[in-house]
Copies of this chain bind each other. A is one copy, B any other.
Amino acid sequence: MGAGQSETARAGGGRPGEGADRPALPVLQLVGVSKRFDDFTAVDDISLDIREGEFLTIVGPSGSGKTTLLRMLAGLEQPSEGNITLRGTLINDLPARRRPTCLVFQSLALFPHMTVGRNIEFPLKAKGVSAAERKARALELLRMVRLPEAYYGKNVMTCSGGERQRVALARAFAYDPDVLFFDEPLSALDYKLKKLLEKELKDLHKETGKTFVYITHSLEEAMVMSDRIGVMRAGKLVQVGSPDAIYGQPQNRFVAEFVGEVNVIGVTLSNGAWLSQETAEPVRLVLPQTMAGAERAAVVIRPEYMKFLAAPGDADNVVSGRVYNEYSLGSRIQYQVRAGERVFLIEMSRSQIRPGTGDGEVLIGWNAEDAIVVEA
């Protein structure tokens, strides 16, 4: 995949416990960790190695247990079951303040009675850094998060949502821990600032070599920044791997649907051929591989691999339909093509020209190797 491959591949496509090929000890290791609140299981039997220096992002639906997982890692919550080790030492019971980790809260948890400056200086004060040094460092951090130095003396409760988020970020960096946890730190920022701070975070990650564990709801953020992405669902870790692996080889339909838009077609095996069940009459599909033993499966085709065809022979699988919606996504355009009951999504770069035939009947399709077959 070109020059970037080495970059994104750095962390490899990991799966829990699969890090044996890497010599370094995981900085944090979870083995069979669960967390129950009364009879509700928020985190369910998770095993995961967090590697020294990696940028690990956790994504998952709301309520899937991401925050709870992070809180256990930070020492703010104790696992109901399982073990957490830090470089080989069991730390289930180590208090948050003794862990070389730091959490940027989803709620930010800024100290309302302190100025921006004193908020940022708080961890330094806890370490006993001198006042002058603290202030110098705080001003430096303010610059880093793109806040004016004059904010040093500002009442933190008069800052806007985004400003507050940046203060929280600066405060975490002031603590300077080995492992940083972020709970949606950029969610309230505008696009441009988010891009800037994403880059800043990424650079800081590279420069410092620290381990970052990151929760986000922004797929783009996860894709751009992470060495590995972990996908959670209902307290379980469903898949962990490099962004490419997660995007390109999702383990199941949930992951596929979660990390971007997809066209999914349910198929059944019939006389050695895959038949689509979702068209009026079964259509035979050309697929990249067969699934051993499975009778049913799902075919996933990302919208960018769907093509408008000039002729029926231009792709392995062909569908005919009618464009009924077109959205601009900024750099891309998304088409919704209705074929019978189904709607297919096709995404094209804004710079590409659609080889379609106006508003009439169009042919769309995809090649066998661009589809992914996953568990139904």
Contact = CB atoms under 8 A, between A and B. Distances in A.
Contact of A191 (B163, B259, B335, B350): B259
A75 to B, nearest CB: 21
A327 B259 contact: no
16 contacts: A2-B356, A5-B326, A7-B325, A8-B326, A8-B328, A61-B162, A61-B193, A62-B163, A161-B184, A191-B218, A194-B217, A195-B261, A220-B329, A220-B330, A331-B332, A332-B349
A63 B332 CA distance: 28
A289 interface: no
Contacts of A331: 260-261, 302-304, 332, 347
A304 B332 contact: yes
Given A4-B327, A323-B3, A63 B163 contact: yes
Given A3-B323, A304-B350, 19 more contacts: A2-B323, A3-B324, A4-B335, A8-B326, A59-B191, A61-B192, A62-B189, A63-B160, A63-B162, A67-B161, A191-B217, A220-B329, A223-B329, A243-B328, A247-B328, A302-B331, A305-B351, A349-B349, A351-B370
A219 interface: yes
Contacts of A193: 61-62
Contacts of A247: 328, 330
A18 to B, nearest CB: 21
A188 interface: yes
A299 to B, nearest CB: 16
Nearest to A68: B160
A126 B248 CA distance: 51
Nearest to A322: B3
A134 interface: no
Interface of A, secondary structure class, is: mixed
A244 interface: yes
Nearest to A334: B224
Contacts of A187: 187-188, 217
B351 A304 contact: yes
A143 interface: no
A187 B187 CA distance: 6
Contact of A160 (B2, B67, B218, B358): B67
